[in-house]
Structure 1
Amino acid sequence: MDKIIEAQPVSVLRQGTRRAAGQHFTIELNETVKLAWPMVLTQLAQVAMMTTDLAFIGHIGPEALAAAALAVTLYLVSFTFGAGLLAPIAPLAAQAYGVGNLLVQRALCTGLWAALLLSFPIIAFAFRGEQILLAFGQAPDVARLAHQYLFGLAMPALWLQAIRNFMGAVGRSRSCGSHWP
């Protein structure tokens, strides 16, 4: 066999290596697309919901639209902090899943409890939303409307983030109701 390899020109050997690398890349790309496609659809659905929400709020009037924009901006500060603290769910779940450990589901439960606990300071932050916006010089009517809008955002968004981190980590981004391997 060594004689066959030696008899072939180096360019032929490089082509075979490139072909194998190309096939490996194609396989990896296909697997990544299979995993990412449901996440892409979820993200697009969220954008569609936000667009619809803004379209309806925009018909109410400019003050309501400004209030929604301020509320979401104020909320994103706390949500980004909470999502950062929930990020370790993915590597912990992926590691446990990779070795077949039963702690996979514990990673999700811990993430959901963490999301619940993180929601309390965010809710407390939302209780002070009007005062915070007034301190930043916003109009009182807009600050009051934004304050009302903040209450629907706190806990559900962090729970969804915890579940999304977990499902992506175990390769089950299709649906939460799928069976475990």
Structure 2
Amino acid sequence: MRKVAMMTADLAFIGPEALAAAALAVTLYLVSFTVGAGLVAPIAPLAAQSYGAGNLAMVQRALRTGLWTALLRSFPIMAFASRGEQILLAIGQAQTLRGSLSNICSDWPCGVVPALWLQAIRNFMVSVNRPEPISWITLAAIPLNAVLVYLLVYGKFGLPRLELFGAVLASTLVNCAMFLRFVVCHNASSFP
């Protein structure tokens, strides 16, 4: 839900040609991201089983393994997404959007690592019975993303007008901030 809400905000503030290119690129990105998210999903049962058994070392190990998996899985996703324009053109999509597709397909991969790390730590926190921080951080991040997208796409309050790259940058910054906030919640809490 968080990913859909953030991408909706990204798409709401960009122009019509950029919107068409972004919609195609987002579809390609979501397919590859879903595969990556599926690979970090085992964190939840592994950490939950260890947490229930009182094996705190294995709980931490499940998280570390998930974060490494997310990082390593992000490289093929970034490579796939960076070739998004060629893939979409090869299947007959968007000949008229060639320039816009090139921009978004080269910019979007920069947000893969924080997005997958965020997914990994979310799975972990749910497995150790701490879903509240996830809910509150996500609820705060969605409007923050919308405001940042607006500011960076249109260059408001003295910020540079970045157009489509502004939407990508805003989402990446918000994902990084959310991940860091989750890390702080993890370190400050009583669970392992």
TM over 0.5: yes
2: CA distance between counterparts of 1:76 and 1:48? 13
SS in 2 for 1:70: helix
Q: Distance in 2 between matches of 1:80 and 1:47?
A: 12
1:22: which partner in 2? none
Q: Which residue among 22, 28, 41 is the counterpart of 1:74?
A: 28
Could you say what secondary structure the match of 2:60 adopts? Answer: helix
CA distance in 1, matches of 2:49, 2:62: 10
Of 7, 10, 14, 1:50 maps to 7
Equivalent residue for 1:118, pick from 73, 78, 83: 73
Query: CA-atom RMSD, angstroms?
Result: 1.7
Could you tell me how far apart the structure 2 residues matched to 1:174 and 1:129 are? 36
CA deviations 1:26-83 (Å, max 9, x no partner) are xxxxxxxxxxxxxxxxx4x5544333222211xxx21100111111100111111111
Deviation of 1:123 after TM superposition, in Å, equals: 1.1
Matches within 5 A, 1:132-151: 132-137=87-92, 138-139=94-95, 140-151=98-109
**CA deviation string 1:121-161 (max 9, x = no partner):** 11111221121111122222342233134223321111111
Q: Distance in 2 between matches of 1:76 and 1:98?
A: 33
Whole-angstrom distance in 2 between the partners of 1:153 and 1:71: 13
Instruction: Answer whether contact 1:93 1:108 (CA < 8 A) is retained.
Output: yes
Distance 1:151 1:46, change over 3 A: closer
Using structure 2 for the length normalisation, give the TM-score. 0.64
Q: Are the equivalent residues in 1 in contact too, given 2:22–2:101 (CA < 8 A)?
A: no
Residues 119 and 158 in structure 1, CA contact (< 8 A), matched pair in contact too = yes
Checking the alignment, whether the CA contact within 8 Å between 1:97 and 1:170 is kept in structure 2 is: yes
Gaps of 5+ in 1: 1-42
CA contact (8 A) 2:32 2:77 kept: yes
What secondary structure sits across from 1:146 in the alignment?
helix
Distance 1:54 1:160 in 2: 21
1:106 maps to: 61
Deviation at 1:111, TM superposition (A): 0.3
Tell me what 1:157 maps to.
115
| TM-aligned CA distance change 1:78 to 1:46, over 3 Å | closer
Task: Output the TM-score relative to the length of structure 1.
Answer: 0.68
Matched, 1:129 2:71: no
